[in-house]
Structure 1
Amino acid sequence: MFALLFMTLTVYMLDRRTIDGYIIAGMVFIVAGSSVEFWWPGLAIGIAAWSYCKTPSLSAIFIAIAALAAMRIINGNDWALTVIPIALLGCFVTVPMPRYQWAFYIFYPLHLSVLWAITKAGTATI
């Protein structure tokens, strides 16, 4: 969760497009990257994905691929790289899907309640 927090803060500061915003974004990235899960590559993947969604570019793709490759060093396996062909294939597939604005607000607390109930039922003593 802290990685997501600092990634969001970095993106927010980058999106301001000011010198102060770029400096703060860089400082957050450098400091937070040393203390969150998956370090700087974890932050870089999210920032590159945001950048690509905002303005598609090859540089964002290359940064994301480099960050995924760096995950090999961190977690010791190549599974992070399997997302590359899946993401590339996803560019050629369009799936029309309706967007329900309030669905997440209902689903998220509901599924957490169900998981909590399952956990409580499993630990109840008779």
Structure 2
Amino acid sequence: MDSTTKFEEFNSLYPIEISSGTLEALKWLAVISMTIDHFNRFFFQASIYSAYCAGRLAMPLFAFIFAYNLARPEAFERGIYTRVFKRLLFFGVLATPAYIAMRHLQHLWPLNIMFMLFIAAVLFFLFQKKSPLTISLAIFLFFLSGAFVEYSWQGLIFCLSCWFFCRNPSILALIACLFSYFLIDSLNGNHWALASLPLIILATQIELKIPRIPYFFYIYYPGHLTLFWLVSKLI
């Protein structure tokens, strides 16, 4: 056994498996976290710190679920990427006016999380092609797009590290995931994003029977932002 084989055996970890119902439970927790955060932003100008902290769980949960689903072997062959691209762009555009109002932005950027996930999905797609050209394009896109999306390069690194870990679990990929958590923490100004980690670990150990509602989470994002925006203008 050569040194490369020994390292691969040492580095490899068991693949993680999360049931569909348990993934839905994680999505609902992320939705609750996100809703609390956005309510705080629209109606209290983000002044309630406990609500801000609760909201830090949303992004890592959504990003992990997103990466986990697109890391499935069949995602590439079944053309799931194309459908995901279209949905993220469509609902990201719908959410843009309310998102700009919530963040009090003077420009279109940073674009909302739907666009960050769109860029992450494009990066997954390019890396999965494994050609020198697509890998070069992915690196170029990463450095260019990080300046224009919510959560910036830290968010893209988090998505990528989760995707690589879910595709090929290893000690190195796990270290990258943990490192990306601390990048998110530096962006948030606290460590509350780490609270999502035990929830993800727990999700691998339990199987919940929660039915999936197609497109709900795509629709909910622009829907709740627009509702909060309109109500905030009336009071």
Deviation at 1:110, TM superposition (A): 7.6
Local SS of the residue matching 1:36: coil
1:49-86 deviation per Cα after TM superposition (whole angstroms, max 9, x unaligned) = 22222222222222121111111221211111112222
Shift of 1:19: 0.6
What is the Cα deviation at residue 91 of structure 1?
A: 2.5
Q: Which residue of 1 aligns with 2:69?
A: none
Give runs of aligned pairs for residues 1-126 of structure 1, distance below 5 A.
1-95=114-208, 103-105=213-215, 107=216
Distance in 2, Cα, partners of 1:47 & 1:67 = 9
Asked whether the equivalents of residues 165 and 177 of structure 2 are also in contact (C-alpha less than 8 Å), the reply is: no
User: CA 1:85/1:111 → structure 2, altered by over 3 Å: closer, same or farther?
Assistant: closer
- Measured in 1, the distance between the counterparts of 2:174 and 2:147 equals 23
TM-score with structure 1 setting the length: 0.73
Q: Is the 8 A contact 1:13 1:22 kept in 2?
A: yes
One-letter amino acid of the counterpart of residue 72, structure 1: D
Q: Is the 8 A contact 1:65 1:84 kept in 2?
A: no
Gaps of 5+ in 1: none
CA distance in 2, matches of 1:43, 1:12: 14
The alignment's TM-score, normalised by the length of structure 2, stands at 0.43
**Alpha-carbon distance between aligned partners in 1 of 2:220 and 2:208, rounded to the nearest angstrom:** 25
CA contact (8 A) 1:11 1:47 kept: yes
Tell me whether 60-69 or 49-58 shows the greater mean CA deviation: 49-58
Pick closer, same or farther for the CA change 1:69–1:120 going to 2, 3 Å: closer
Superposition RMSD on alpha carbons, in Å?
3.0
Range with greater deviation from structure 2 (88-97 or 27-36): 88-97
Distance of 2:186 and 2:118 partners within structure 1: 23
Structure 2: how far apart are the matches of 1:32 and 1:13?
A: 14
**Closer/same/farther in 2, CA of residues 94 and 23 from structure 1, 3 Å limit:** same
Residue in 1 aligned with 2:111? none
Tell me if the contact between 1:33 and 1:40 (Cα under 8 Å) persists in the aligned partners: yes
